[in-house]
Amino acid sequence: MVATTVRIEKLAFMSSEADGARRAREELVRRYGEVPPEEADAVVALGGDGLMLEALHRFMNTGRPIYGMNRGSVGFLMNDYREEDLRDRLSAAEIVALKPLKMEVVDQDGARHVAHAFNEVSLLRELHQAAKLSISIDGRVRLEELICDGILIATPAGSTAYNLSAHGPILPINAQLLALTPISAFRPRRWRGALLSTRARVRIDVFEADKRPVAAAADHTEIRSIASVVVYEDSQSESLVMFDPDHSWEERNLSEQFRY
């Protein structure tokens, strides 16, 4: 994490379709003006965590930082919404560089698909039959058969989202770790997942795919009826997120671990 060292002047705005987010955008554009995103020093995203994920994908590898303000429901990835002193807040903000996961899928027809995920890659059964999977790490089979509703590979940024709901661990934002978390594991019933290095390459193969079809999703991109998926951190790509110093991502992750 680093603090910004230059004055943020030229702003671009984006918002979700929610009425509150659109009204906020109109007011901020009236106050601060607006330039096209490709000319902006920073992009201000108004909405919830879904909009932030959209912005992370849209501005990946552009070098353009994203400052989110919560006009949604949860807003874990967002800063508090305030209309005053926006340029001062942006100039004082800290920047976190997020590396996405890359998902490479082969479906049952042999077609190949590629997508990125900043939160998680998840595999989920499509029908009433449980999924039957095998898990390999760096070319070595680590779990020959996992019968479950699904499994996910979460980044530190995504560890407080679906991963946490599936009883996976919360990861510090700067941890060089991924969380491999089963969803409703039936066999082996006691397996709770694993922590992996960001250098790990995870391969998951689907058994009996015609009888037990499985879908794979990388954030908002879903591929159905898959045969196998390989997941690893894309070290060549990144998106930049801005946080108020008193509302950092580290603090939010730490606070989440002491909720009861």
Q: What pLDDT, in 10s, does the model give residues 204-239?
A: 999 999 999 999 999 999 999 999 999 999 999 999
143 annotated to bind ligand: no
Q: Is 49 a catalytic residue?
A: yes
Is the Cβ–Cβ distance between 57 and 237 less than 8 Å? Answer: no
Let me know: does 120 contact 89? Beta carbons within 8 Å: no
pLDDT in the model for residue 248: 66
Residues 6+ apart with CB under 8 A from 21: 15, 46, 47, 51, 71, 72
CATH number of 2-99+238-256: 3.40.50.10330
Q: Is 49 annotated as a binding residue?
A: yes
- Give the C-alpha separation, 180 to 229, whole Å: 14
Superfamily of domain 101-233 in CATH is Probable inorganic polyphosphate/atp-NAD kinase; domain 2 (2.60.200.30)
- Does the annotation flag 63 for ligand binding? no
Q: Is 70 annotated as a binding residue?
A: no
Q: What is the structure's pLDDT at 51?
A: 95
Catalytic pick among 41, 49, 107, 219: 49
- Taking phi over 0 as left and psi of -120 to 50 as alpha, with beta for the rest, 225 belongs to left
Q: What is the pLDDT of residue 5?
A: 53
**Which residue(s) pair with 148 in the sheet?**
131
Mean pLDDT for all residues in the chain? 93
Residues forming CATH 3.40.50.10330 domain(s) in the chain = 2-99+238-256
Whether residue 256 contacts residue 164, with contact meaning beta carbons closer than 8 Å, is answered with: yes
